[in-house]
Structure 1
C-alpha cells in the first residue's frame, strides 16, 4: 500500500529584511512599502478634454458674450455715479438757459421803456423833467443811457443828486434830491438864490420871500461862505423862518439878524447843533431879547 503524500505547509510570513546599519552604528528606520493603485496611473496619464470640433466662430461668440457680461457689470456698478452726473449736468444746463434767456429778454423790446416817472421834486415841475427825458422812451431798460440822462438833468440847477430805478417791464423812475437854498446873494444882475455849496439856482430882480440876504466877504466859494452854509442849515425851524440877513467876514464871525430885530452872534460853525439848542432855550425864556451871543455855547450872553 502506498503512503499518502504529505500535506503542504503554510507559507511562512515574509520577515522584514534587517535594517542596514547606518554610519555610526545606528540602524535605518524600516521603510513601509505600499502598492500603487491602478487609478493613480490613470489620473496621471489622463489626456485633457478634447478641443476638437471648435471653430473660430465659436471662439468669437464666447469672447463676445464675455465682453457683454463685463459691460453689464460695469454699467451696474457705475449707474449711480452716471445718474448723479446727469443731474448735475441738467441743473447746470437749466441755469445757463435761464441766464441766457434773461439777458436776451432784458435787451429786447419786451422790456422797453414806456413810462418815465420823476419823484422827489418840490420846487421843480416833475412834468417838465419827464419831458426832458422823453428821448429814453422806447429803449430797453438795460440800455438806458445814463450819460444822456445826466446831460438832460444838468439843465435843472435845483437837482443835487438823482438815481435811476428800472421797474420791469416798462417803467423807469428817476428819484431826485433837490438842492436846499440857504439865501440870496445880491449882485448887479439881481438876487441869485444859492445853496450851501454856492451853486446858483435862480436869479430874480427882487429878493424871494423867506430867503435871507447873504453878505459874505469873498462870496460863494470862500471859507466864510462855507461856514455860513453850515450855520444856516443847522438853525431850528422857528429861527430859520424869521432869518433876514447873514453876514460874515471870516469863518469865525458869522452873525445872524432876524426879522424880529434880534441879532445873534454865532461865531464859527463848530458846535452848531448845541448853539441852536441854546438859542431856542433863550428865545423861549426871554422872547424880548435883542442881542444874544452864542459863540460860546456853554456860556451864552443875552442882552
Structure 2
C-alpha cells in the first residue's frame, strides 16, 4: 500500500475515494537540498515535554474527528510514520551546528598559525586555547539543543511555518540571522587577534624608537644647558666671596679679582686669578669654587711665621719659605730667634733651621729661645735656662724630637735647674752632658 509523504501541515482529510476527478490535489512543500556527507550525522535527541520553555509558545494541534470507522487506524499510522521522519528543522539545525563548529575550528587554527610567526614571543597557554575551542563548541551545542527542542512536526504547531510568499519556512530566516550574527562575532574576534599580533610584532620596534627618542632628548637638553652655561649672561659672575683671611685685607683681594666680574663662570680665566692672588705675599695657598649662578668663593691659607729675624731695631716674623709675614718693634714671645743675616732668608741653611723648629713638640718648642746653624748639618738650639741641644742634620727629625722630649723630662725630674747639653744627633743614643 502506498503512503503519501511530504511536508504538508494541513490536517488529514477524511477517508474517501483516492482517485477521481473530484479528489483534491495535495500541496507539497519546497524541495530540500541534499545534505552533504560531512553534515550527515545522528541528529540530537528532541527535548522531552519537561524541557524548559524557549519562549516560543506552541499552538495546539486541532482535534481530529473521532470516528468509529476502521479507516481511522491507517490514518493514525501514516501520521506516526510522518512524525518519525527527519524534518526541515532537524536538518537545518544539523547544518548550522556543523557550520558553527567548522567556523570555530577554523578561527582557532588561524590564531595558532599567527602565533607561530613569532617564536620569540610569549604565547597563550594550551589550556587557554583549549578553553576557547570548548567555548565555541559549547555555543554550537546550545544552538543545536535549542533548535532541536522545538517542535519537529509542522502539523503540531497548528499554523503554517512558511513565510508570506510561501517560498521557505520562517525558521530558515531565523537560522540565517543567527549564522550572520555568529559570523560577525567571529570576525570581530579575528580582528582582535590580528591587532594583538601586530602589537606583539611591533613591540621591539616601539621600544627601540622610544629609547632613541629619550637619548635624543637628553643630548639636546645637555647641549642647551652647556650653551647656556658657557655663553649666556644668566651664569655670569657677580659676587666674589673671600674666606680664611686674618692678616690679608679681604677687600683689597676682592678688588684685585674684580676684573672677572661679568664673565660666565665656565669661562673664568684662572691664570689671571692666580696672578692677582700672587701679589699678596701673605697668602700661602688658595682654593677657588664656583657656586652657580653668580658666585665665586676664594678660600685663602695665610702664611704662618715660625722664627723671628732681627732687622735693625725691629723683628721680622718669617715663615719657612723666608717670606716676612709681619714686622714687630719688639721680640715676640714664644717664637725662637734665628741667628742668620737678612740676606740669607730662604737659603738652604735657613730652611733647615725652620724645618727643625717645625719638628719639635709644642712643649719643647715653647722652651726654645734661639736657633743657629753654620751649615745645613750643624743645627744648635738654645733652651730657656741656658741648656743647649746638639741637633745635627735635619734627617730623622721626628725621632730626634721624641728623644729630646724624653731627655728633657727625665733631667727635670732628677735635677731641675741645672744647665746641661742634650746631644740627639744620633737618635738611637741620646746623651746628656753637664755644662761647666
TM-score range, shorter chain: 0.5 to 0.7
Whose strand proportion is higher, 1 or 2?
A: 1
Q: Deviations over 1:51-77 (max 9, x none)?
A: xxxxxxxxxxxxxxxxxxxxxxxx989
CA contact (8 A) 1:216 1:249 kept: no
Question: Does 2:304 match 1:180?
Answer: yes
Q: Which whole-Å CA distance do the structure 1 matches of 2:313 and 2:411 have between them?
A: 40
Question: Does 2:278 match 1:148?
Answer: no
Question: Does 2:296 match 1:166?
Answer: no
Q: Could you say which residue in structure 2 is the equivalent of 1:299?
A: 429
Aligned match for 1:99, one of 222, 225, 246: 222
Q: How does 1:249-260 map to 2 (within 5 A)?
A: 249-260=374-385
Structure 1 residues not aligned, in runs of 5+: 1-74
- TM-score w.r.t. the length of structure 2 is 0.47
SS of 1:298 mapped into structure 2: coil
Q: Could you say which residue in structure 2 is the equivalent of 1:35?
A: none
CA contact (8 A) 2:316 2:324 kept: yes
Q: Which whole-Å CA distance do the structure 2 matches of 1:104 and 1:131 have between them?
A: 29
Structure 1's consecutive aligned runs of 4 or more residues displaced over 6 angstroms after TM superposition are 75-78
Q: Which whole-Å CA distance do the structure 1 matches of 2:294 and 2:385 have between them?
A: 53
Measured after TM superposition, the shift of residue 177 of structure 1 is 2.1
Q: Which whole-Å CA distance do the structure 1 matches of 2:228 and 2:339 have between them?
A: 57
Q: Could you say which residue in structure 1 is the equivalent of 2:409?
A: 284
Q: Which whole-Å CA distance do the structure 1 matches of 2:387 and 2:329 have between them?
A: 27
1:292 to 1:205, Cα distance in 2 relative to 1, 3 A: same
- TM-score w.r.t. the length of structure 1 is 0.65
Question: Does 2:385 match 1:275?
Answer: no
Aligned match for 2:373, one of 245, 248, 266: 248
Aligned residues: 230
CA contact (8 A) 1:111 1:141 kept: yes
Q: Could you say which residue in structure 1 is the equivalent of 2:233?
A: 109
Q: Which whole-Å CA distance do the structure 1 matches of 2:385 and 2:224 have between them?
A: 67
Q: Could you say which residue in structure 2 is the equivalent of 1:239?
A: 364
Whose helix proportion is higher, 1 or 2?
A: 2
CA contact (8 A) 2:307 2:354 kept: no
Q: Could you say which residue in structure 1 is the equivalent of 2:149?
A: none
CA contact (8 A) 1:251 1:268 kept: yes
Q: Which whole-Å CA distance do the structure 1 matches of 2:225 and 2:332 have between them?
A: 52
Measured after TM superposition, the shift of residue 269 of structure 1 is 0.9
CA contact (8 A) 1:247 1:254 kept: yes
1:259 to 1:127, Cα distance in 2 relative to 1, 3 A: farther
Q: Which whole-Å CA distance do the structure 1 matches of 2:296 and 2:357 have between them?
A: 35
Q: Deviations over 1:95-132 (max 9, x none)?
A: 22222122123232322333322223344344443343
The two structures, once aligned, show a CA RMSD in angstroms of 2.9
**Structure with larger Rg:** 2
Q: Which whole-Å CA distance do the structure 2 matches of 1:128 and 1:243 have between them?
A: 37
Q: How does 1:108-147 map to 2 (within 5 A)?
A: 108-147=232-271
Q: Deviations over 1:173-216 (max 9, x none)?
A: 11222223221333459543322222333445544444322124
Aligned match for 1:212, one of 321, 336, 345: 336
SS of 1:286 mapped into structure 2: helix
SS of 1:279 mapped into structure 2: helix
SS of 2:299 mapped into structure 1: strand
